């Protein structure tokens, strides 16, 4: 099918899912709400559904700047509002004067509940404050079962979405040259690492491309890819300007501040 040619092979199962969602909305003339999707998944949904006259799609993650968002696929007669996305905001209350919690502590506690990652949206951490978004259908279960995060005893307080902390991602952009568009080469340049060090990180399963673990150093990166390496942060390949006279690639990369 020609559609699949525009996507990487590992994305084909998700494309099948999106096509199924689209078909269901079209046949039943009723809306479909998805779990929280990462930005790459949102991009795929938009590209597949966006031009359809019978099925429309919009995204919301609790706040406009959210990275992870639920998709709402719907027939043209519906005008969606925030309530259609069934999102709950929780504040984590804990003794922050004595214990420090990080994003990974919160995610680890949530994932230990046995729920899919898609049931949780963004986790907001600023100073000692922590908030996170969750799907409303599992909110009661989360509130009942999350009693500790890391070494801290916690309570979860539901808040209106309007009370979310205003955190937006910013990128420090620059143009650099890389020897190739291989993952280890781009990673080495983005984080100023030795190529061998970058290769080891990839092979150890510590690197993600578009929120998926990639353990092959020869994976070819492309415009729009978001790369993250555990312990080093996140970068984004904004554009590939083309080869230079010395057979290197000129690329525009941003590192998350």
**φ, ψ at 252 (rounded to 5°):** -110, 120
Query: Which of 97, 129, 163 represents a domain boundary (last residue)?
Result: 163
What's the confidence (pLDDT) of residue 3?
76
Asked if residue 105 and residue 147 are part of one domain, the reply reads yes
Domain assignment present for 132: yes
Q: What is the pLDDT of residues 129-160, one digit of tens each?
A: 999 999 999 999 999 999 999 888 999 999 99
Domain region containing 201: 171-256
Q: What angle do CA 208, 252, 191 make, to 5 degrees?
A: 50
- 25 contacts 73 by C-beta, under 8 angstroms: yes
Asked if residue 239 and residue 185 are part of one domain, the reply reads yes
CATH of the domain at 112: 3.30.70.330
What's the confidence (pLDDT) of residue 257?
65
- 41 contacts 67 by C-beta, under 8 angstroms: no
What's the confidence (pLDDT) of residue 10?
84
- 111 contacts 153 by C-beta, under 8 angstroms: no
Asked if residue 192 and residue 147 are part of one domain, the reply reads no
Give the residue with greater pLDDT, 168 vs 130.
130
pLDDT of 36 above 90? yes
CATH of the domain at 214: 3.10.290.10
- Percent of the chain having pLDDT more than 90? 64
Asked if residue 237 and residue 175 are part of one domain, the reply reads yes
Q: Where are the alpha helices (DSSP H) in the chain?
A: 12-28, 39-49, 103-111, 139-145, 183-191, 195-203
Domain assignment present for 230: yes
- 254 contacts 235 by C-beta, under 8 angstroms: yes
Average pLDDT over residues 239-248: 82
In terms of C-beta distances under 8 Å and separation of at least 24 residues, what long-range contacts does 152-156 make, across chains too?
152/94, 152/95, 152/99, 152/101, 153/94, 153/95, 154/92, 154/93, 154/94, 155/92, 155/93, 155/94, 156/90, 156/91, 156/92, 156/93
pTM over 0.85: no
Domain assignment present for 210: yes
| Distance from C-alpha of 149 to C-alpha of 98, rounded to nearest angstrom | 14
Q: How many domains does the chain have?
A: 2
Asked if residue 185 and residue 151 are part of one domain, the reply reads no
Asked if residue 129 and residue 189 are part of one domain, the reply reads no
| Distance from C-alpha of 68 to C-alpha of 7, rounded to nearest angstrom | 20
């Amino acid at each position: 099918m020609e559609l699949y040619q525009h996507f990487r092979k590992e994305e084909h199962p998700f494309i099948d899912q999106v096509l199924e969602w689209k078909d269901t909305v079209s046949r039943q003339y009723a809306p479909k709400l998805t779990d929280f999707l990462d930005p790459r998944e949102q991009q795929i949904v938009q590209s597949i559904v966006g031009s359809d006259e019978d099925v429309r799609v919009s995204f919301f993650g609790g706040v406009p700047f959210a990275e992870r968002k639920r998709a709402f696929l719907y027939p043209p007669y519906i005008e969606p509002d925030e309530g259609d996305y069934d999102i709950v905001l929780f504040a984590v209350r804990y003794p922050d004067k004595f214990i420090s919690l990080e994003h990974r502590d919160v995610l680890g506690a949530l994932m230990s509940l046995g729920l899919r990652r898609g049931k949780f949206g963004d986790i907001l951490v600023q100073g000692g404050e922590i908030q996170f978004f969750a799907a409303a259908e599992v909110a009661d279960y989360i509130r009942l079962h999350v009693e500790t995060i890391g070494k801290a005893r916690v309570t979860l307080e539901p808040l209106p979405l309007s009370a979310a902390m205003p955190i937006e991602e910013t990128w420090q952009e620059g143009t650099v040259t890389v020897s190739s568009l291989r993952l280890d080469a781009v990673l080495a340049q983005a984080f100023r690492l030795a190529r061998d060090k970058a290769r080891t990180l990839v092979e150890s399963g510590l690197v993600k491309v578009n929120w998926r673990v990639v353990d092959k150093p020869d994976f070819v990166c492309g415009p729009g890819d978001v790369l993250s390496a555990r312990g080093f942060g996140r970068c984004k390949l904004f554009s590939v300007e083309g080869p230079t006279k010395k057979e290197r690639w000129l690329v525009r990369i941003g590192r998350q501040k």
